[in-house]
Amino acid sequence: MTGALPVTAVIVHYKTPDLLCRAVSSLRVFYPELPLLLIDNGSDDESRSVIAQLTGGGRPADRVIFNAANLHHGPGMDQAAREAATPYILYLDSDCEVLRGGFVEEMLARLEESPGNYAAGERVFMDRRGFDVPMSTPDALAYIRPVCMLLRRELYHTLPKFQLHGTPCLDNMAEAARRGYGLISYPAFTYVSHAGRGTAGRHGYGLGLRGKLNHILHKIGL
């Protein structure tokens, strides 16, 4: 059944080949035929040789794009949305491990309930700077965590691009919500374990002074 799913899985990677191997191998246990697109963001370590092993023989990955430099996570996700050909994209963080199957089919069924349903996954609420807030907070923005997220590609191309940001989908999803597109809450973390900050913990977010300023302004309520 999985071979017929109109879904491309996408993993954006930067210099964490050990985590990438775990993510790919665990996905393949449950979805051996799902098309997989790897975006490598200019890794200059042993990642290329590891990826070569992942993409040889048993078809764990169908396509790899090696970027010359680190575009960072959000722009890499945007690149994948423009390269994939299927109607839906499953974004999976490189520091994830798939624990059991069935979630892709269930998220797909939820999105296909309405042509205006845009994304499904773990839903939280954020302020305009991209920090988690309670749902009851005035002007809170619904946000699907892209850690494990199924997205309708056609609608993506009508919205702001994913960007270099600690929450790369923020502007995209704020506009999606403004237009009335569905951001569907789905318990993805019951199927997928997320180590958290796998790449960022080793290499940072690449946000520089802008990221520090954004954090300070959030702390003082601006």
| pLDDT one-digit tens code per residue, 141-168 | 999 999 999 999 999 999 999 999 889 9
Least confident of 58-67, 72-81, 162-171, 176-185: 58-67
Question: What is the count of structural domains for the chain?
Answer: 1
The rounded distance, in Å, linking the Cα atoms of 214 and 217 is 5
Q: Considering the domain boundaries, does residue 200 fall inside one?
A: yes
pLDDT over threshold 70, residue 209: no
Asked whether residue 129 is domain-assigned, the answer is no
DSSP state of 38: E
Give ∠ CA 26-32-34 in degrees, rounded to 5: 105
Q: What stretch of H or E contains 12? A: strand 7-13
Domain that holds residue 21: 2-113+144-154+185-219
- What would the two tokens of residue 1 be? 């059944």
Domain contains 167: no
Which residue has 């374990």 as its token pair? 193
Has residue 208 been placed in a domain? Answer: yes
- The CATH number of residue 93's host domain is 3.90.550.10
Taking only the tens place, the pLDDT of each residue in 166-206 is 899 999 999 999 999 999 999 999 999 998 755 556 546 55
In 3D, which of 18, 27, 84 has the Cα closest to residue 59?
27
Residues 220, 222: Cα–Cα separation, whole Å = 6
Q: How confident is the model at residue 60 (pLDDT cuts 50, 70, 90)?
A: low
More confident residue, 104 or 60: 104
Tell me, yes or no, whether 135 lies in a domain. Answer: no
Residue 21 in any domain: the answer is yes
Question: pLDDT tens digit string along 38-53?
Answer: 999 999 888 888 888 8
Position 124 in a domain = no
pTM: 0.85
> 17 lies in a domain?
yes
Mean pLDDT in residue range 77-92: 96
